[in-house]
Amino acid sequence: MERKYRNIRHVTSREQGMPSSIGVGRILGIRVDIHLSLFLIVAFLSWSLARGFLPERYPNWNTATYWSTGFVCALSLFVSVLLHEFAHSLVAIRRGYRVEGITLFLLGGVSSIASESRRAVDDFVISVVGPLSSLAIAAIIGIVAVTSGGSSPAYAAIEYVAIINLLLGLFNLLPAFPLDGGRVLRAAIWAVTGSFRRRRGSRLAADRWLACCWWGSASTKSFRDMRYREYGRRL
């Protein structure tokens, strides 16, 4: 079975790549494909940034600057995702696994690794390196943003790259499938127990943990919204 690493989720599939994907070549020997859905999300993000986020933070720019900066920021998101997936893929190759390629699509990216991990340490290292690489990029770019300052389009793009990589790294470290953190937790349980079956059982526990977190968050928000509607203000 072929394992696919995704920055949003991890799946197992017998397919290589995705339907409606366009090959853009090889980088460091790894095939990179772009799914057609990527163009839709880049257009949507560009519009969202140009019409909302950027005008609110930088009210003195002209329309062309908003749109061009929004487009650059949208592209930078998927460059960040690509770097995240390259971290998974390069470490997998380093540890003796064959990587079929990387595909960028609507929900992020996927690295197709040709087989399941043979050892718990491989599973752990391959999984954790993606979020760590995103956090490292966020730290480096964040330092640049803090030291440069200003309100130029270049600064806005740098700030956006730092924020998006920070969120990408932290979100993927949540210990629940199909995130990287879920695989890290599973690998840790596998290493401690020495049981391949028990590491699979950890997936259900992690999924329940994430469901409880979402339920608690949604319940809290619903309660606050009800109080707001009842008294006409937030308490």
* Residues 131 and 169 sit within 8 Å (Cβ to Cβ): yes
CA quadruple 229, 232, 234, 235: dihedral sign? negative
Closest CA to 156 of 57, 81, 60, 79: 57
CA 160/CA 61 separation, integer angstroms: 17
Catalytic residue among 85, 100, 116, 230: 85
Separation CA 134–CA 166 (nearest Å): 7
Q: Could you give the angle at which helices 63-94 and 37-48 cross, rounded to 10 degrees?
A: 140
Phi, psi of 8 (to 5 degrees): -105, -45
Residue 176 token pair: 């629940």
Count of CB atoms situated within 10 Å of the CB of 210: 16
Nearest to 82 by CA among 19, 155, 31, 143: 31
The answer to whether 106 and 37 have CB atoms below 8 angstroms apart is yes
- Based on the residue annotation, tell me whether 85 is a catalytic residue of this protein: yes
List residues bridging with 94 in a β-sheet.
Answer: none
Which are the catalytic amino acids?
A: 85
